[in-house]
Structure 1
Amino acid sequence: MTGRTRTPKQGRPMNQASTTDASLNDAAIATRIWPLLGACALGLVPFTIYSNFLVDITRNSGHDATLMGSLRGVGGVAALLVGLTCAPLLDRVPRRSAVIWSLLLLAAACVVGLVGPVWAWALFCLLVGAATSVLNPAASAMAADRFDDESTSGRAATQVSAVMTLTAVLSAPLLAGPAVWWGWRGDLIATAVLCSALAMALFLARPASAEHSTADRNGPGTGYLRSFRIASTLASVPMLLAASALRTAAFMGQLAYLAVLYDERFHLGAGVFSLVWTLSGLSFFLGNWFGGFAIRRADNPVVTAIAGAVAAMVGAVAVLVLFLTDHLPAALLATAALGVSHAVLAAAMTTLLVRQSGGHRGTVLGLNGAGQSLGVCLGASVAGLGAMAWGWHGAGFVLAGLTAGACFASLAAARRLNVEYRRERS
């Protein structure tokens, strides 16, 4: 397909390498990329600490809780700007170096957070947002680069996103236990130590041969702006990036108001609502994990894109049910369906972006990360405008519209992929 190149690993023919990689099961894939899974999991921990212990952090800083809470948005803006700026660079520098420096930046952010004043927390949010905007796409691309078989590469990338989802669900209770003994500062220190240790382990590890060939795959002399232009011409990539950004905006928009919705409609307090949050998170993890597994088995980009479109349709219906129903069982079912459908759509988009990007994988995944950061920033705002105009019904219709947009973008990608697929087969 247009713009795609493949580079065999050194010392073995391409067809032999691809056949060997295609036979790997999920456990074998995870074993080969476990440091990258750990890196992306650690990337979620600093903001989890900040959110969970915001009351204590606010009391320590001596500032208003509203001000301290708003600093979280600094991280989102930083992630968007840094992710967009650095996307082409992920194909021009060793991905392992990008992951290592991102982990060290996360460790530095945790140390800054120990200082305590509001300026330190603003810098903390800025550093964490910047670090994760590079860490996540670099680690995903690096995981995909470990395999020559395209379906296995896509599966490796979806494993990274699935582990990140699981971390988001489990990190809060796992951090709360140790904090009983050493407080939130102890959690920050432990995170800094783990990030530094993993960075050192990656630095000392012998890199795989594929990691030396990033510049070769991207082509000599590819300029910064030209990397953007090349990414925009890759088959179906612009539509896939649009679908991913719209999906993120819709999903994060409903998450932003989920607690308020369940409190006003069903009078669920914070304790009971934590179970609803767990239901949403586990549904997303299971959908992402098993959806990625099924997509790998299908090994057909057209089928994958259509599966993403179907998942988006289910998500659009589910978010309407969630925001329109007055029955708790229906709302819970819609919450679970939202998690699963968005997870399948996310797995489909990640797999296709990995397959279609070829030697420009770092740039494409970096742009995808920036698009998702934009979705995080805009999702709650767009849903809030809908709620202001027509209450919860308005929020539901706005979020359903965003999800429908992701469906149309996925269908457009499927049409383009079908043309390319027929051309390859003929």
Structure 2
Amino acid sequence: MTRPLTVLTAGVVTVGAQSFLLAPLLPDLAHSLAATPSEIGRVLAAYGVGVVVAALLLGPRLDRVTRRTALTAGAALLALSCAVAALAPGWEVLAGAQVVAGVGAGIVLPATYALAAELAPPGTAARATGRVLLGWSLALVAGVPVATVLADAVGWRGVLGALAVLAGAQVVLYRTLPSGPVAAPPARGAGALGHALRTPGVAPLLAGTLAFMSAFYAVFGFAGAEIRLLHGGGAAGAGLLALAYGVGFGLGAAAGRVAERARLAPVLAVLAAVYLLLGATVGLLPALLVVAVVWGLVNHVALTLLVSGLAAAPAARGAVLALNSGATYGGAAVAGLGAGPLYETAGLGWVAVAAAVVVAVAVPVVRRRTRTPAPRPVPVGS
């Protein structure tokens, strides 16, 4: 199982690097494309729109093709979108490329999480999911900081071109994976997404994901620009926050067994407090980076609980995880559209306060499912 999980983790690194890269480059994008922060916020939102489209239109079909086919197609779309984005003459074309990238991510992520759970030995699906989620940490600790340093040297277009090559290489790697299962069609009149939503516990977890990701992308999307505004430095300086967050996220992965025993509602309550701390320390860079490490750690625990809980529905796993991707980047779209104007008028501190409120509202929603149930054993190839 080690090699397939490594390939799947590498795919998450690729998606994560593409997903997170634009945030620390916002000032460069705005200057190069003569765009306002609100227009660049729409670019960030476009990515979420693409994932939501993939979840609604392609999610019901993810269990009808092999996981390998879905992964290959999604990575190809990511490569295409990065190539187009690198050549974008204006923010509108960049936004269109982001929609395509979102569709690709909306295919890759649910197929990745589903295949990781299916390849895991009985009783270890949550641990396998947590390992694959480590790809997000690697993207933040290595991918985004390296990309921001590269951006200072060759510009954001060169970085997106390099990402196009990386996504193309991932297409080749995906072809080496086991094919994964193909589910039987659902009973007549039982749509895959409707069936997935009716699965016990899925709806509150999706609501938790939507709140969790809305808060995350609202703060992360504009934190790099705020650091550059208040503390100076180029794109590499803004990448410090991504590095600190990624370190914390990796520490959360190392505490995987703790995450398996944690309860989601209290973790989200702690996360709301962390957002308040982020807002309070935005003017003091060392303190902000320390809080960002804690932010990453708590986020990893919360994300593991959310994803492993949703992956515990083997009968409709692909559709459920597609809905998870839709909720994830629906949150990104909400953040891009709402946080941009708030950031322009009030600054990052109030964006962080708004994020804390959103997460706090989700606590009672998920409280009735405070402990993620142990995933059912799923034999390889089932």
Shorter-chain TM-score tier: 0.7 to 0.9
Provide the alpha-carbon RMSD of the alignment: 3.7
Q: Does 1:342 align with 2:331?
A: no
1:400 to 326, 342, 356: 356
Structural mapping, 1:59-208, within 5 Å: 63-66=33-36, 70-113=42-85, 115-118=87-90, 120-150=93-123, 152-175=124-147, 187-203=159-175, 205=176, 207=178
Change (3 A) 1:192 1:393: closer
Distance 1:284 1:326, change over 3 A: closer
Give the number of the structure with larger relative contact order, counting CA–CA contacts within 8 Å between residues 6 or more apart. Answer: 2
Matched, 1:365 2:338: no
Please give the secondary structure, in 1, of the residue aligned with 2:311. Answer: helix
Matches of 1:195 and 1:112 in 2, distance apart?
13
Larger Rg over CA atoms? 1
CA distance in 2, matches of 1:92, 1:255: 35
Query: Please, what TM-score do these two structures have when normalized by structure 1?
Result: 0.73
Question: Is contact 1:105–1:127 with CA below 8 Å preserved after alignment?
Answer: yes
CA shift at 1:246, angstroms? 0.9
Of 190, 196, 199, the residue aligned with 1:231 is 196
Whichever residue aligns with residue 339 of structure 1, its letter is: G
Greater per-residue helix proportion: 1
The residue that corresponds to 1:19 in the other structure is none
The answer for unaligned runs of 5 or more in structure 1 is 1-28, 297-302, 421-426
Task: Name the amino acid aligned to 2:214.
Answer: A
CA displacement, residues 219-254 of structure 1 (integer Å, 9 cap, x when unaligned): 444468522222122221111111111111122222
Structure 1 counterpart of 2:258, from 279, 294, 299: 294
Give distance in 1, aligned partners of 2:152 and 2:222.
29
Give the Cα–Cα distance (whole angstroms) in 2 for the partners of residues 331 and 178 of structure 1.
Answer: 24
How far residue 261 of structure 1 moved from its aligned partner, in angstroms, is: 5.8
Task: Return the letter of the residue paired with 1:140.
Answer: Y
Whichever residue aligns with residue 174 of structure 1, its letter is V
Q: How far apart are 1:75 and its partner, in Å?
A: 2.2
- Show structure 2 runs of 5+ residues with no match: 377-382
**Which of these residues, 231, 239, 251, is aligned with residue 216 of structure 2?**
251
Bigger drift between 180-189 and 267-276 goes to 180-189
Residues 255/100 of structure 1: CA separation in 2 closer, same or farther (3 Å cut): same
* Identity %, equivalent residues: 25
Alignment-derived partner of residue 182 in structure 2: 214
* Counterpart contact for 1:243–1:405, Cα < 8 Å: no
Equivalence for 2:266: 310
Identify if the C-alpha distance between structure 1 residues 239 and 44 changes in structure 2 by more than 3 Å, giving closer, same or farther. Answer: same
Distance 1:278 1:404 in 2: 26
d(CA) in 2 for partners of 1:65, 1:79: 24
Pair 408,333 (structure 1): closer, same or farther in 2 beyond 3 Å: farther
TM-score under structure 2 length normalisation? 0.80
Please report how far the alpha carbon of residue 327 of structure 1 lies from its aligned counterpart in structure 2 after TM superposition. 7.9
How far apart, CA to CA, are the structure 2 residues paired with 1:416 and 1:49? 31
Distance 1:261 1:238, change over 3 A: same
Q: CA deviation at 1:332?
A: 4.6
Instruction: Provide, for residues 20-57 of structure 1, a one-character-per-residue CA deviation record: whole Å limited to 9, x for no partner.
Output: xxxxxxxxx54331221122222234456666667777
Is 1:283 paired with 2:241?
no
Q: Distance in 2 between matches of 1:374 and 1:159?
A: 24
Counterpart of 1:240 in structure 2: which amino acid? L
User: Using a 3 Å threshold, how does the CA distance of structure 1 residues 225 and 121 change in structure 2: closer, same or farther?
Assistant: farther
- CA, structure 1 residues 385+223, in 2 after alignment: closer, same or farther (shift >3 Å)? farther
Measure the CA separation in 2 of the matches of 1:319 and 1:173: 22
> 1:169: how far off?
3.6
Q: Which position in structure 1 is the counterpart of 2:232?
A: 269
Shift of 1:98: 0.7
- Residues 387 and 123 (structure 1), Cα distance of their counterparts in 2 relative to 1, 3 Å cut: closer
Query: CA distance change for structure 1 residues 113 and 295 in 2, over 3 Å: closer, same or farther?
Result: closer
The CA deviation at 1:365 is: 0.7
> Aligned partner of 1:243: which letter?
G
Distance (whole Å) between structure 2 residues aligned to residue 369 and residue 399 of structure 1: 19
Q: Distance in 1 between matches of 2:82 and 2:296?
A: 30
Q: Quote how far apart the aligned CAs of 1:78 are.
A: 1.7
Q: In the TM superposition, what is the alpha-carbon distance from 1:167 to its structure 2 partner?
A: 0.6
CA drift at 1:97: 0.6
Deviation at 1:131, TM superposition (A): 0.7
User: Structure 1's 173 and 116: CA in aligned 2 closer, same or farther, altered over 3 A?
Assistant: same
Q: Which residue of 1 aligns with 2:308?
A: 351
Inter-CA distance 193–417: structure 2 relative to 1 (3 Å threshold): closer
Deviations along 1:233-285, one digit per CA (max 9) or x if unpaired, are 22211111111111111222222343466678xx4224555434422232123
Separation (CA, whole Å) in 2 of partners of 1:156 and 1:55: 38
Deviation larger for 183-192 or 131-140: 183-192
